Amino acid sequence: MNHPGRYLTVLAVLMALCFLGALMFGSTFKTPAAVWQGLVQHDFDIWQYRLPRAILAVLVGAALALSGTIIQGIIHNPLASPDILSINHGASLAAVLTLMALPGTSVWMLPLAACVGAAVAFLLLLVAGRHAGPLQTALIGVALSAFYAAITDYLMLTHPLEVNTAMVWLTGSLWGRTWSFVEVGAPLLVLLLPVALLFSKSFDLLTLGEAKASTLGVNVGRNRILLLGLAVMLAAVAVAISGPIAFLGLVAPHLARKLVGGRHRALLPASILTGALILQISDIAVRTIRPPLELPAGIFTALIGAPYFFYLLRRSL
């Protein structure tokens, strides 16, 4: 914790190694030399399937982790994350509504619909939990998530012709994600991620409390709105690409905080790297457990995140 730069370097190296691993593992195993040859010779499998999927694993993992870090810091709730506070489920519901109402809709519509759904879900949470503590807010988020999931299930049952498209997307997976998803998601996430990092100093001041932050020259109201807006957009775009990935936004910030401490200048980039690393490992694991069958990456992250959430819940009681 005294040397956050070293931890950031280690995380970056591990992420680079996992990126290579994502290109090596699939329906068939490729050696690093074969991967390099495939990149040079524009091998179809690597360029059309493995490379876009590897890029999206980094971006989606980073976005969900950073969103969770921002939310936990702004509302001072260690139990908070985009999926637990119903943001991911709100985004999922809006995306499914779009898929059902506009069959064959362009992939460009999903991030817009997901952002609207995520924003509405978060506003409803703020209204419902305006007088609640951290534990109560988390439980309200879980209840709202169940409500949105029930509506989503109803839509799928009543629209059987579109259910396959929705099911593939709702599993929380990077399977079948091609360059069209990179073209949609990468520009948005590449823009949003560094913008959030610019707020690291203000973030540290906000954690001191609103009164002290105001005396130090921070516009508390504006910064809170901007940061929460960034968190919602990051989660929404990530969900639009991969579907809901469970607990990643909860676990990654906690792991990053244990490594580099609570100073956001180091915590924010550490969360980005940790989230990307977790999703990369999860995606590689689900590809290699029972090839050629694939499990959704969201199942792997849920197996890690659910016990950790219960641990945090018990500690809050």
65's CB contacts (< 8 A; 6+ apart) are 248, 249, 252, 253, 256, 271, 272, 274, 275, 276, 278
* 281 neighbors 20 (Cβ within 8 angstroms): no
Position 171 scores a pLDDT of: 78
The four Cα atoms 16, 18, 23, 29 give a dihedral, to 10 degrees, of 140
Give every residue of the chain whose pLDDT is below 70, as ranges: 1-2, 104-107, 165, 316-317
**Can you give the pLDDT at residue 126?**
86
Dist CA 107 CA 110 (whole Å):
6
At 106, list the tokens. Answer: 């362009």
Spatial contact of 192 and 233, defined as CB atoms under 8 Å apart:
yes
Between the CA of residue 295 and those of 35, 50, 163, 172, what are the distances in Å? 24, 16, 18, 10
Q: Return the CATH number of the domain spanning residue range 4-316.
A: 1.10.3470.10
| 153-184: pLDDT as tens digits | 898 888 777 777 677 777 788 988 889 889 88
DSSP for 265-290 reads HHHHHHHHHHHHHHHHHHHHHHHHSS
Tens of pLDDT, residue by residue over 1-50, are 558 889 999 999 999 999 999 999 987 899 999 999 999 999 999 999 99
What local confidence, expressed as pLDDT, does residue 299 receive?
86
Measured CA to CA, the distance from residue 311 to residue 211 in angstroms comes to: 32
